[in-house]
Amino acid sequence: MSTLEDIINEIKLDFQGTEGTGALHVITGAPTIDDARASVAEMLKERDRWAAECLKLAEALNWEQVRYKPGHSVVAGNYGWLLFTAKANLTTLRDQVYPALKEALNSKRL
């Protein structure tokens, strides 16, 4: 099974030496169905890990409302957080909500 990092490294190797020539390397073939499913399953596990971590931090903040980007916030309360983390995607949890929770927790400790 190829990971995303393996694919990126493969593409980088394919493009080495073609700089300035205008040549583009066309990737032939797609991952097998089993590889694609395994990749998606791995990504979903990673999303679940970030969701669990966000829930731990939210609980440490007594389930307070947290604004993670302008105009977007998670509703206060256990139920609001459970609902949000069940629906949020990996990027939102990892890149927006988790940093906002860490910042809120750090400012509360000061």
pLDDT at 107: 92
Question: pTM to 2 decimals?
Answer: 0.69
The model's confidence at residue 11, banded by pLDDT at 50, 70 and 90, is low
pLDDT at 14: 61
Burial class (CB in 10 A: 0-12, 13-18, 19+), 58: buried
Residues 74 and 66 sit within 8 Å (Cβ to Cβ): yes
Report the 3 state secondary structure along 16-50: CCCCCCCCCCCCCCCCCHHHHHHHHHHHHHHHHHH
pLDDT tens, residue by residue, 32-81: 898 889 999 999 999 999 999 999 999 999 999 999 999 999 999 999 99
Average pLDDT, the chain: 85
